[in-house]
Amino acid sequence: MLRHLIQPLDFTTEEFEQLFRLADQILENPSAYSDVCKGKLMASLFFEPSTRTRLSFESAMYRLGGQVVGFADAKVSSTAKGESLSDTLRTVENYCDIAAMRHPKEGAALLASKYMTTMPIINAGDGGHQHPTQTLTDLTTIRHYKGHFDHLTIGVCGDLKFGRTIHSLVRAMNRYDGVKFVFISPDELKMPQVFLDELDPQDYTETSNLKEAIKDLDILYMSRVQRERFVSEEEYLRLKDFFILDKEKMALARKDMLVLHPLPRVNEIHPEVDADPRAVYFQQARFGMYIRMALIMFLLGLGGQND
Ligand code: CP
């Protein structure tokens, strides 16, 4: 059956666990997987800028022995001539076995998936909506360091309005037992009601006080203010440095609290925090490649389904 990954709930928690286990196996013995995708071609379709997602997907495919075609800038595709997204994807399906696509419009990946007959679509970020492979990356990191997901208190800090990584993370983590969320944002960038409605009101609190909230967290998930989604540059400039995580705030946190960030970072984590062993955002970016290797294999029917 043709499967896509458009948002985290497209996969069950059991399927997530299969991916985590497969990623562990790949990490332990990468050479055993170095030609499982031989002869397979991935389309890397990035209509919006990216460093980690695009390069980790492309590295993942090459490390599995497959190959990659695509673009990192919509201006060099026929989108610039007015071609529709559905026509572009129906064309790409003639050439490629799987596609990872980032697009500025919410719902673009879902729309593209409706036209597919053979090619799995992976949503590599659709506007301010969802970013499910970042969530797989985040959960791989949490699982690695904490060993479980249940009963964790997660502080999600920054731009909760436009942060697609946050929307996906909360949706995915809400499936585990006893998880509590602390949403830390300025009033203007609060978690959209549509995502809050998916949660039990007893499972979350909202605040704008990072110094108070940090004391009770198992995980602090920082995020940048998403400049590209603001209508007003003035509003962005007013809000961009609302939270800056520094040594002083880290001193208030638990000794085993983890700091995650999907990256890129702008100012919201001071570089002095990088040396703190609780800051695991660069390790997180590394896990992103291994879990994407597992995801590619899974969607191509090359392993992970019943491991
Ligand atoms: N985390 C993330 O999506 O980073 P990029 O925008 O660099 O891909």
When pLDDT is averaged across residues 24-51 and rounded to a whole number, the result is: 97
165 is catalytic: no
Which amino acid is it at 95? Answer: Y
Q: What is the pLDDT of residue 41?
A: 98
59-87 residue pLDDT tens = 999 999 999 999 999 999 999 999 999 99
Per residue in 249-290, pLDDT tens?
999 999 999 999 999 999 999 999 999 999 999 999 999 999
Residue 190 carries which DSSP code?
Answer: P
Band (pLDDT 50/70/90 cuts) for residue 226 is: confident
Residues in contact with 284: Cβ distance below 8 Å, sequence separation at least 6, in sequence order? 137, 138, 141, 260, 261, 262, 263
Per the annotation, does 134 bind a ligand? Answer: yes
The question of whether 81 is a catalytic residue gets the answer: yes
For the ranges 77-81, 97-101, 217-221, the lowest mean pLDDT is seen at: 77-81
> Higher pLDDT residue, 298 or 235?
298
> What residues are in contact with ligand 1 under a 6 Å CB criterion?
50-53, 125, 134, 262-264
pLDDT at 307 over 70: no
Report the pLDDT averaged over residues 204-208: 98
With cut-offs at 50, 70 and 90, classify the pLDDT of residue 305. low
End-to-end CA distance of the chain: 18
Q: How much is the average pLDDT of 113-117? A: 98
pLDDT tens column, 283-294: 999 999 999 999
Q: Tell which one of 48, 53, 130 to mutate to probe ligand 1, the residue whose CB is within 8 A of the most ligand atoms.
A: 53
Distance 151 CA to ligand 1 centre (A): 28
Confidence of residue 234 (pLDDT cuts 50, 70, 90): confident
Catalytic residue among 4, 52, 63, 261: 52
- The CA 167 to ligand 1 mean position distance, Å, reads 15
Q: Is 81 labelled a binding residue?
A: yes
Angle, CA of 126, 108 and 171, to the nearest 5°: 45
Which residue has a Cα nearest atom 1 of ligand 1? 262
Ligand 1 centroid to residue 69 C-alpha, Å: 19
User: Which listed residue (40, 103, 129, 131) is catalytic?
Assistant: 131
**Cα of 52 to ligand 1 centre, how many Å?**
5
Tokens representing residue 123 in the block: 């949503």
Q: What is the ipTM of this complex?
A: 0.99
The tokens for 255 are: 């000794």
Closest atom of ligand 1 to CA, residue 262: 1
131 tagged catalytic: yes
Tell me if the pTM is above 0.90: yes
pLDDT digits (tens, 9 = 90+) for 131-186: 999 999 999 999 999 999 999 999 999 999 999 999 999 999 999 999 999 999 99
Distance 49 CA to ligand 1 centre (A): 8
State yes or no: 227 annotated in a binding site.
no
Mean pLDDT of the 224-234 span = 82
pLDDT > 90 in the chain, percent: 92
| Residue 103 a catalytic site member | no
Name the residue at shortest CA distance from atom 3 of ligand 1.
Answer: 53
- CA triple 193-195-197, angle to 5 deg: 70
